[in-house]
Structure 1
């Protein structure tokens, strides 16, 4: 009944597992997370971080502290903030709290020394923080009850979503808008010819021209205070957003109605905009046509959008006229390692293509006595080109599949051959099924115990590695 966290793939910088060899060929249970349930876990190339059940942040990896500066064990860095979600970049750790605040701290321990207190001394000592951190705040104060509920980081930029459905962006370094991924650029792009019909609004004409330009900052971009302001994306003003996602240099948003808008880098077709948009960069949020149809009786809506590196994925629900509703998984972008999942290796795919083995699946539901869709869930795309996804049937656990790049054993099959189609992950005792159950005992990383807690297994695709942890 032990809750085991499984890891496999590259571990060159001790980011995947702080106490193991450089390569893990097949799923391996790490002992330091036995019976531990986490709120979140995030991986980068040279460092990693997690949030325990208390909401405290722990960091590890050679990018956090080199072997001559510590023992490699995870170190608690940010505590008492009630963190629920993490996003990592090369030099930053972004943390979202349950109260809706966004914090940033350095990824390296050598850059985390506390600065001089900027608040009254009693507040400084009461916080009892051992590291330097900053809070990211919106350019304008929120209305009553509004707060940040989600964050997503690319290589150089950050997107954030509020409870009111507003999308914000923030530059992380001086390359943050190199491909227009922040969502605001040259003023002439606001002319009617450049505004997609699906998002056109009379209110856009009254937008403040000064808000169209990327923010300026005089701080060095290796400082966590390079930019501590989140700016609402002007062209999305008045459009309710349900989800934000980022690739390395691209941005995506999904509306409650199931529409997807994309912008940023597009040299591999990773925005999914098709041949009508051949530009390497798209600076205005533009609608992605996920499934062209000529019938007004047919409908398609996006259930989720996922991105990583130069790949993007979409789960869509299709309701063709006079046919059963199906759920499909589509992929686009750089599939040179097989990440498109369509049995082909292509470094550019501009139109989203169907991942056949995970699309259009149904099962019989005995309770309703009807067929129901099997939905691909928990999709996570690595920046290095491999993809994980789980199928969610009504019982028996979620069947984990992996495909794409496999140069560091990141697909968990003990081989180093790229795979261009979803393949079940082998746990060593058969197919790896992600479970949801009530645990007799759950620990946090300080040794505290809680009993009879419902937990489920969650997947993360890192830089050439994978982790399955309990949440």
Structure 2
């Protein structure tokens, strides 16, 4: 990794998901080290935080995972090894070492990745077909329980994929022609049977980005419009009610805005506009929407005024918290605070965005930044958060 780029983590660590070599919680920012990347002068370009595990992608397209592994979610098993319960340090996924991974996602108990050729891969829990593998059958043709996939394998081979997204029990991919496909357990669960082969989501054209929560889905069209479908128990679809939708519908209240980014947490959603402003909707418990003392759920998007005055570049949504990244590289967290998941040194739940300080010492082989770092990317998980930061003195952020 280049000396002016570091990977950060904070929050719950009971499954080793922080990647710092132990299972302790951290309520302030700590640094993750990946020797296989750093020692060859490379850097990490992307991180993803899941429910109980994490992953990172290097600039060379190598994938590293750490955390909980009982369902094979780390993808590091070989044909001669057995699954381990957890791994608290980043480990390379050697089954994908021969390809260049460009993007990845973590769902409930499964993971997805896509390489630079548009080929998608899946591993982990597969009880609903979310890894794309059909159930094994006995000789009498009766179904048996789907097996977990401990070694990454190809999925959706008929599609040329540019983005993958993973939900609690389903998978979603965006293809290069702007179409969205999905498989696994849909929502509502009784609407469509579990499927292992991709089915195209009807009614969506020219999609440029997808985001998936536990059981709901968002799609950002090239024109800046946002559509949603799936579970809607807390209004996370932004339709003004709590009726679930099996087909995409437009999110209300954003028609006069141009949205440039979207994010989906477990049961809440956010949108970022061209004016660098944040809108949030869905479950408001614990203050995860960022509306201060108002922790009620919102059926339609509302502007997060507590971030007014800050130029926001990205928002990431976790299970019960959110983190906003500003264009000048600062981080603001809000929502549930136990296990230290907000990262500002106190395990206090709050709906008021609080700044996360990056007080990390410079690497021993460099002195140019004097420990002053600015964030470039943030990824919220169930109870922990990851980020990538760089030296302010050496690199313009946005």
Matches within 5 A, 1:120-139: 132-137=151-156
Structure 1's 245 and 73: CA in aligned 2 closer, same or farther, altered over 3 A?
closer
Asked if 1:465 is matched to 2:396, the reply is no
Number of corresponding residues? 339
* Residue from 312, 325, 329 that aligns with 1:376: 312
Task: Please give the per-residue CA displacement for 1:333-378, whole angstroms capped at 9, x wherever unaligned.
Answer: 111110111113434210211111324x4xxxxxxxxxxxx64122
Kept in 1, the 8 Å contact 2:325–2:375? The answer is no
Matches within 5 A, 1:144-163: 147-163=160-176
Structure 1's 133 and 98: CA in aligned 2 closer, same or farther, altered over 3 A?
same
Give the TM-score, by structure 2 length. Answer: 0.76
Match of 1:288?
251
Structure 2 residues without counterparts, runs of 5 or longer:
127-149, 361-365, 368-373, 391-398
Give the TM-score, by structure 1 length. Answer: 0.65
Asked if 1:102 is matched to 2:108, the reply is no
Higher share in helix: 1
Structure 1's 316 and 99: CA in aligned 2 closer, same or farther, altered over 3 A?
same
Asked if 1:49 is matched to 2:49, the reply is no
CA RMSD of aligned residues (A): 3.1
Asked if 1:309 is matched to 2:266, the reply is yes
Structure 1 residues without counterparts, runs of 5 or longer:
109-130, 187-212, 217-226, 293-298, 318-325, 362-373, 430-438, 441-454
* Residue from 353, 362, 378 that aligns with 1:422: 353
Quick one: distance in 1 between partners of 2:314 and 2:268? 16
Matches within 5 A, 1:67-466: 72-77=88-93, 78-106=96-124, 132-137=151-156, 141=158, 147-171=160-184, 176-179=185-188, 214=193, 216=195, 227=196, 229-236=197-204, 239-274=205-240, 277-279=241-243, 281-291=244-254, 299-317=256-274, 326-359=275-308, 361=309, 375-383=311-319, 385-392=320-327, 397-428=328-359, 457-466=376-385
Task: Please give the per-residue CA displacement for 1:211-256, whole angstroms capped at 9, x wherever unaligned.
Answer: xx5564xxxxxxxxxx2x32211233xx221111111100111111
Deviation at 1:134, TM superposition (A): 2.1
Quick one: distance in 2 between partners of 1:19 and 1:8? 13
Deviation at 1:391, TM superposition (A): 1.6
Q: Equivalent residue of 1:74, what SS?
A: strand
Structure 1's 74 and 68: CA in aligned 2 closer, same or farther, altered over 3 A?
same
Structure 1's 465 and 150: CA in aligned 2 closer, same or farther, altered over 3 A?
same
Could you say which structure has the larger radius of gyration?
A: 1
Deviation at 1:42, TM superposition (A): 2.0
Task: Please give the per-residue CA displacement for 1:428-467, whole angstroms capped at 9, x wherever unaligned.
Answer: 48xxxxxxxxx99xxxxxxxxxxxxxx9732111221122
